[in-house]
Structure 1
């Protein structure tokens, strides 16, 4: 399967508030700067929840099939992390899910705490495609747990055919950099994450956090089919972000 529905990461406007809420939730979210006096320390943080805590997850809408399928897919993360999910009624969860037909989106990790009302995650109710739906739910819950996109890994080297990639998304390779359609492609596919601002493991083409990449968007025969399950590196990365306490010495 090649096609997927690109998700939208929702970034908060107030970076200082994002930093404060992340550090208050989990002091390990501090990321040490590797130099450069001009760089603001507040930019250096991750957004992981406190290991061992229970995340309360509310559904703002959706029928029983949507809710059940979402819970089953999200729970695929649980064997690999020191967190609990408690699915609740009402609208007061740490993570609040709404149906958004045709699109998927999420705030990143602890940024959800900055949104005091309304949804923090949107899922398209693609219930006729259960494997596709489950993969997208796991992807969005990856974001909700603090993960970013794998195809924007700091060390990734995808051999993009830029003309083809832009054209496929209704943009011109030679448009101004602030042209809307080009900006969307740049943000969703091309902009790499700053290695100084994240925790990351080796690049993983099998990651649930990787977009599907069509072969006709690249030079040569490079492609990434839609990943439908958590990869071994996904599991290891989240296990490191949400570790269990070390066993006491006997």
Structure 2
């Protein structure tokens, strides 16, 4: 990734109830981008003649189309990166599909558009005919497998490591702006500020320690970092998944438990007893075909997601996120007798004296 940097765009800020307590707000900021554990993320590659951006030709009034389609070597580089992340034993799995309407992650290869990805669940806000991830240069070039690993880290909800408030980096701001304004990035000051100089909130950071070896860390040439002194001559991460990367992603997405989750019995409240960031999973095996409601209860911020088992794989059916709102998450869907469903509840935070619970009816 040396010299060419991931260029995230700023997503719309979530709408939260004013006056939230600091602890509750912190839990929401850190947890909202993360998928519920056990999710199967489906990805597809754009492959049609119409899959392209229309861009203006510099110095003229004309436009031209720039394709999003990558060749098989580029696709295989991305597949290999997905396999490497999954090989850590995380509770998230990845499946390639050809129908973009089934894909949460839709991947393009528009050269010159930079390499970037939506962060975690922000991908769900993007229309099915648009990219959630792009690779703007050759992933088969020496050292560039790190680019694919880095963007998948974003898709899992991770942010840039050098922006961690734990890093203690003192930048030469104008040197950074000058470096990124030139080739090969040609970034605006706003893009540089958002992707490099802006400090994250502690709850957004990938961990409580700065990890200069992280796959989410940029390499930097000499003269941009003033402190820590050891990096004045430059910072060159190895471009691999570091031990702290593995620790962080396994904390959010631990390996799935072997036993089948307990059955959520209709009209019977199931206590959650979760701490912030923890998750509870349940099985639903409907006795009849009808509309069912699944909801969380209690003073809590939570996300509730309902999956249907198809061909041995949980497929997303419905979900709701009540984070920061004065209500509880609730989903309603038609469940079919003889089929198996899974309910996953991830708690951001709880603040009341009462018990938090989930119920199906």
TM range (shorter): 0.7 to 0.9
Secondary structure of 1:8's counterpart equals: coil
Show CA shifts across 1:158-185 (max 9, x none): 23223322222349xxxxxxxx933222
Secondary structure of 2:42's counterpart equals: strand
Q: Quote the offset at 1:196 in angstroms.
A: 3.9
Conserved? CA contact 1:56–1:86, under 8 Å: yes
Structure 1 distance, partners of 2:117, 2:211, is 21
Aligned twin of 1:213: 220
Q: Quote the offset at 1:48 in angstroms.
A: 1.1
Find runs of 4+ consecutive structure 1 residues off by over 6 angstroms.
Answer: 39-42
TM-score between both structures, scaled by the size of structure 1: 0.78
Aligned twin of 2:95: 86
Q: 2:115 aligns with which of 104, 108, 114?
A: 104
Q: Does 1:156 align with 2:167?
A: yes
Structure 1 distance, partners of 2:154, 2:190, is 21
Aligned twin of 1:53: 39
Aligned twin of 1:238: 249
Q: Go from structure 1 to structure 2 and tell me whether the alpha carbon gap of 1:32 and 1:45 turns closer, same or farther (over 3 Å shift).
A: farther
Q: Go from structure 1 to structure 2 and tell me whether the alpha carbon gap of 1:40 and 1:48 turns closer, same or farther (over 3 Å shift).
A: closer
TM-score between both structures, scaled by the size of structure 2: 0.56
Q: Go from structure 1 to structure 2 and tell me whether the alpha carbon gap of 1:225 and 1:32 turns closer, same or farther (over 3 Å shift).
A: farther
Q: 2:178 aligns with which of 152, 164, 167?
A: 167
Q: Quote the offset at 1:44 in angstroms.
A: 6.0
Q: Quote the offset at 1:239 in angstroms.
A: 0.5
Conserved? CA contact 1:131–1:228, under 8 Å: yes
Q: Quote the offset at 1:46 in angstroms.
A: 2.9
Question: Any residues of structure 2 matched to 1:195-210 within 5 Å, and which?
Answer: 195-197=202-204, 200-210=207-217
Structure 2 distance, partners of 1:32, 1:4, is 41
Show CA shifts across 1:201-249 (max 9, x none): 311000000011112212355121143111011011001010124577x
Structure 1 distance, partners of 2:77, 2:203, is 37
Q: Go from structure 1 to structure 2 and tell me whether the alpha carbon gap of 1:225 and 1:128 turns closer, same or farther (over 3 Å shift).
A: same
Conserved? CA contact 2:108–2:133, under 8 Å: yes
**Greater relative contact order: 1 or 2 (C-alpha under 8 angstroms, separation 6 or more)?**
1
Q: How many residues align structurally?
A: 222
Question: Any residues of structure 2 matched to 1:1-250 within 5 Å, and which?
Answer: 3-13=2-12, 15-16=14-15, 33-34=22-23, 45-60=31-46, 61-80=69-88, 81-92=90-101, 93-102=103-112, 103-117=114-128, 118-132=130-144, 134-170=145-181, 181-197=188-204, 200-219=207-226, 220-222=229-231, 223-245=234-256
- Which stretch of structure 1 is more off in the superposition, 230-239 or 120-129? 120-129
Name the structure with the higher strand share: 2
Larger gyration radius, structure 1 or structure 2: 2
Q: Go from structure 1 to structure 2 and tell me whether the alpha carbon gap of 1:32 and 1:129 turns closer, same or farther (over 3 Å shift).
A: farther
Conserved? CA contact 2:159–2:206, under 8 Å: no
Structure 1 distance, partners of 2:26, 2:258, is 37
Structure 1 distance, partners of 2:75, 2:165, is 35
Secondary structure of 1:10's counterpart equals: coil
Name the structure with the higher helix share: 1
Structure 1 distance, partners of 2:121, 2:199, is 21
